[in-house]
Amino acid sequence: MVIKCDAVLSKISDYLEDDLDPAVKRAMEGHLAQCRPCRAVLEGATNVVALYGDENMFSLPVGFHSRLRRRLADRVEGQRGSWRGWLVSVAATGALAALVLFTTVRDRFAPEPRTQMSQPARRLPERLVAVADGGKTFHVPGCPYMHGKYRMVTPEEAIREGYAPCNRCMSEALRTAGSVEPDFEGLEIASSATGAR
Amino acid sequence: MPSPDPSHEDEAALIGRIQRGERELFYDLIRPYERRVFVIAFTILRNEADAEDAAQEAFLKALKHLAQFRSESRFSTWLIQVAINEARQRQRKNHPEIMQPIEDQENEDGTYTPRDFADWREIPSEALERKEIREKLIAAFGSLAQKYREIFVLRDVEHLSIEDAARVLGISAGAVKTRLLRARLMLRDLLSPGLEGISASHSQGPKGTRPWS
């Protein structure tokens, strides 16, 4: 079989792949032995394949692996069904259930409000307030609306017992809570404030 | 040569465990293919930063769609397909002006006439240690049309079989062979005068001596 340059050049790739009919391959090798230009092309193509196939030819950018790990971390580690993730879920659910239970119990055992107005104040004074056992509101000591025998309790205790803030003295006290000292001077805690209305 | 791929059985077992919830094993699954996916993306995008971003995205998509992977095919081939799709999609988004012809307009009958029949002086692999040689080779590669870059990388860099390369690119085995021949011969032509030119800027021998000599 005789083979010409054009045919050889068109089969150089198949020759490199060793994907030729044996008779064609023999004919090609016979031609290459005699034809320097075709041999130069073959050698060049062989070198190209060897060079680009070398693993040093294309290398990963420095830090590629760690950047990839960081990019994947959320998807790989964030969504896995690990025991740690399971524990966190269980703990969060338990905490929520405990909070709901506590709120329910607290509300159930809280005393009935003494008045329809008896709602927790949004801001409470940091000092003790005065309540009377027969009264419905709690006061800053010295409030002209106080009457009867009273005792000193914390605002939280007063609210828990169902007292509502006094419309007069507490509105003033609540506006300035924590910043103004209530007037305790001259207060007669155990005295009757009758007529001091 | 790149490190050999893991065995099909080992990989199938690994994939099964990941699909059943051991997601952290995904790192082990993709470790042998990090370079491969990057090179595929670089082949299409020709920019290192874009290629890295596309490669990362390809791995994310591979994880997301791992349940769709069928073990009768090779994971590496599937992953390359994901990477090619991602890089092509990014290329269309970033450079919509680059239109890839639907029909191959070029003559693909395999005829290609080399421009240079001069004796080829072999470039030793050690030359790749020199950055300017590698850059010259990458520049020559980057100047090829995309369809030639793709097939050349799949076959001659990543060593896919002709059949796998055809499957990944969605073309016939005959088209793979034709494009491969042209890519190899074009690169040969491109490299001879290009690398010859480097010697002028590096006084490593008489004029005309190739730098890898």
- ipTM at complex level: 0.80
Q: Looking at CA atoms only, how far is residue A52 from chain B in angstroms?
A: 6
Identify whether A131 is part of a domain.
yes
Residue of A17, A45, A57 lying closest to B134 (CB–CB): A57
Residue of A55, A56, A76 lying closest to B27 (CB–CB): A76
Average pLDDT, chain A: 75
Is pLDDT of A108 > 50?
yes
Pick from B37, B39, B117, B122 the residue to mutate for testing the A interface (most A CBs within 10 Å).
B117
Pick from B184, B192, B196 the residue to mutate for testing the A interface (most A CBs within 10 Å).
B184
| A106 in B contact zone (CB under 8 Å) | no
Identify whether A15 is part of a domain.
yes
Q: Residue A186: which region, alpha, beta or left (left: phi > 0; alpha: psi -120 to 50)? A: left
3-state secondary structure of A85: helix
Q: Looking at CA atoms only, how far is residue A93 from chain B in angstroms?
A: 22
What's the token pair of residue B128?
A: 């790749």
Residue pair A165/A153 in contact by the 8 Å Cβ criterion:
no
Is pLDDT of B186 > 70?
yes
Same-domain pairing of A175 and A124: yes
Same-domain pairing of A104 and A191: yes
Measuring CA to CA, which residue among B128, B5, B38, B165 is closest to residue A53? Answer: B128
Residue of B22, B63, B157 lying closest to A75 (CB–CB): B63
Is pLDDT of A89 > 90?
no
pLDDT tens readout for residues A69-80: 999 988 887 654
Cα angle: A102, vertex A123, A184; to 5 degrees: 120
Give the whole-angstrom CA distance, residue B40 versus residue B80.
7
Same-domain pairing of A104 and A193: yes
pLDDT tens readout for residues B117-142: 666 667 777 777 778 888 889 999 99
Identify whether A63 is part of a domain.
no
Same-domain pairing of A100 and A157: yes
- List chain B residues with CB under 8 Å of A47: 120, 122-123, 188
* Phi, psi of B39, deg, nearest 5: -65, -40
pLDDT tens readout for residues B136-185: 899 999 999 999 999 999 999 999 999 999 999 999 999 999 999 999 99
pLDDT score at B116: 66
Identify whether A132 is part of a domain.
yes
Neighbours of A196 (CB within 10 A): 13
Residue pair B161/B80 in contact by the 8 Å Cβ criterion:
no
Same-domain pairing of A194 and A107: yes
Distant-in-sequence, close-in-space partners of A135: CB < 8 Å, separation ≥ 6: A114, A146, A147, A148, A150, A163
Same-domain pairing of A114 and A156: yes
- List chain B residues with CB under 8 Å of A76: 23-24, 26-27, 63
Q: Looking at CA atoms only, how far is residue B188 from chain A in angstroms?
A: 6
Same-domain pairing of A117 and A178: yes
Identify whether A72 is part of a domain.
no
Nearest CA in chain A to B136: A57
pLDDT score at A97: 78
Same-domain pairing of A179 and A114: yes
Residue of B34, B113, B141 lying closest to A64 (CB–CB): B34
Same-domain pairing of A119 and A186: yes
Q: Is the pTM of this model over 0.90?
A: no
Same-domain pairing of A119 and A46: no
- Tokens 């800053």, residue located: A140
pLDDT tens readout for residues B32-45: 999 999 999 999 99
pLDDT tens readout for residues B85-97: 999 999 988 776 6
**Which is higher by pLDDT, A46 or A173?**
A46
* Long-range CB contacts (within 8 A, 24+) of A16-24: A16/A42, A16/A45, A16/A46, A16/A49, A16/B184, A17/B162, A17/B177, A19/B162, A19/B177
Is pLDDT of A110 > 80?
no
Could you tell me what percentage of chain A is helix, strand and coil, using 3-state DSSP and rounding each to the nearest 5?
Answer: 50, 5, 45
Identify whether A65 is part of a domain.
no
Identify whether A82 is part of a domain.
no
Percent of chain B residues topping a pLDDT of 70: 76
Residue A52 to residue B157, Cβ atoms within 8 A: yes
What is the per-residue DSSP string for A39-107? HHHHHHHHHHHHHHHSTTTS-PPTTHHHHHHHHHHHHHHSS---HHHHHHHHHHHHHHHHHHHHHHHHH
Nearest CA in chain A to B39: A58
Same-domain pairing of A186 and A112: yes
Q: How many A×B Cβ pairs under 8 Å?
A: 137
Q: Order of strands across the sheet with A150-153?
A: A150-153, A129-132, A137-139, A164-165
Expressed as residue numbers, the domain containing A41 is 5-53
Give the whole-angstrom CA distance, residue A36 versus residue A33.
8
Split into its structural domains, chain A has a count of 2
Identify whether A163 is part of a domain.
yes
Residue of B64, B114, B157 lying closest to A41 (CB–CB): B114
pLDDT score at A109: 60
Give the whole-angstrom CA distance, residue A126 versus residue B83.
66
Task: Set out the domains of chain B in order of their start, with CATH numbers.
Answer: 8-94 (1.10.1740.10), 125-201 (1.10.10.10)
Same-domain pairing of A100 and A189: yes
Measuring CA to CA, which residue among B59, B72, B73 is closest to residue B28? Answer: B59
Q: What is the mean pLDDT of residues A160-181?
A: 67
Which residue stretches of chain B are H helix? Answer: 8-19, 26-30, 34-45, 48-64, 75-94, 131-142, 146-152, 162-169, 173-198
